[in-house]
Copies of this chain bind each other. A is one copy, B any other.
Amino acid sequence: MSVALTEKLIEDVRRLIRDQERTTLGNLIFEMQAADVADLVEHLEHEDRLFIIELLMPEDAGEVLLEMEPPVQERILDSLDAEAITKIVEELDSDDAADLVGDLPAERVKEIIESVDTGVREDLQKLLPFPEDTAGGLMALEYVAVNANTTVQETIEKLRSKREEVENLYYVFAVDDYNRLSGVVSLKDLVLEPPDRRIKDIMNPEIVSVNLYTDQEEVARLFQKYDLVSVPVVDDQHRLVGRITHDDIMDVIEEEADEDMRS
């Protein structure tokens, strides 16, 4: 629910923390969106911030941390032990996990990478090398891709198996036998086409994609020019390697507009 951040709410939360009313506070926060909890937390003292972060499930704590102003986020991460950060990182989408870990001191990065589970470690090792302002630095490894010969029904089953893992899913990517990007199908078409049709017959082969090393400014320009909600990222052999979604691009557009005005 969208909760207005009032002085009263902040006061109530301070009191609940002082009285160690974990259940009441937990219920209150559970009703709120991550971005609103982040706003709230930013209005508190450091110790109270930690109280709230530690009260949250790792998944929610991660979402809230991501919504915070960088200095506040950094100070909280400083105070959390490696075990707590590890649990949080394991619950995040790969791009967010890489952003969070990438901002930590080198020592801690090593510690976290060693303690997260194998899948997350592999994702971090794939994503951390890319500069933050390139497509590789923006992309996530969560997306749904199928071979272009797959049927609509098989694609829906694949979607089902990735239901929890992939959020903001509006398109399915199609690839050839060498994992090269060959087209895109909207979920609208997937809902409306007969189950036995093949993806290659309904996909749009005229797909905009970006290379791993495309600059974020160029990525943002393509989102605006072609009204994209997501864009596939490919390597030099045009193999599909990731996906950038519009929410990450809205921040880039703002950042780049600010930079352009300053220069």
Chain A residues near B (Cβ < 8 Å) = 1-2, 33, 35, 67, 156, 159-160, 163, 168-170, 186-188, 190-192, 206, 208, 223-227, 229, 246-247, 249-251, 253-254, 257-258, 260-262
Q: Which residues of B contact A246 (CB under 8 A)?
A: 227, 229, 246, 250
The closest CB in chain B to the CB of A36 belongs to B225
Stoichiometry, copies per complex = 2
- A161 smallest CB distance to B (angstroms): 10
Q: Which residues of B contact A67 (CB under 8 A)?
A: 225
Q: A156 contacts B191, CB within 8 Å?
A: yes
| Residue numbers in B under 8 Å from A257 (CB-CB) | 253-254, 257-258, 261
| CB-contact partner of A35 in B226, B229, B250, under 8 A | B226
- Given known contacts A163-B192, A188-B159, A253-B254, A247 and B227 CB-to-CB distance under 8 angstroms: yes
- Cβ 8 A contact of A229, one of B2, B170, B188: B170
Question: CA–CA, A108 to B229, complex, Å?
Answer: 35
**Cα separation A251 to B163 with both chains bound (whole Å):** 31
Q: In the complex, what's the smallest C-beta–C-beta distance from A152 to chain B, in angstroms?
A: 10
| A226 with B33, Cβ < 8 A, contacts A1-B206, A258-B257 known | yes
A159 to B156, alpha carbons, bound, how many Å? 17
Q: Which B residues touch A188, using CB under 8 A? A: 159, 163, 169-170, 187
How far in angstroms is the closest Cβ of chain B from A98? 17
A208/B253 contact (C-beta < 8 A), A33-B226, A227-B168, A227-B247 known: no
A258 surroundings in chain B (CB, below 8 A): 257, 260-261
Minimum CB–CB distance from A167 to chain B (whole Å) comes to 9
Asked if A254 contacts B168 (CB within 8 A), the reply is no
5 shortest interchain CB distances as A-B pairs: A261-B261, A257-B257, A227-B247, A187-B187, A35-B225
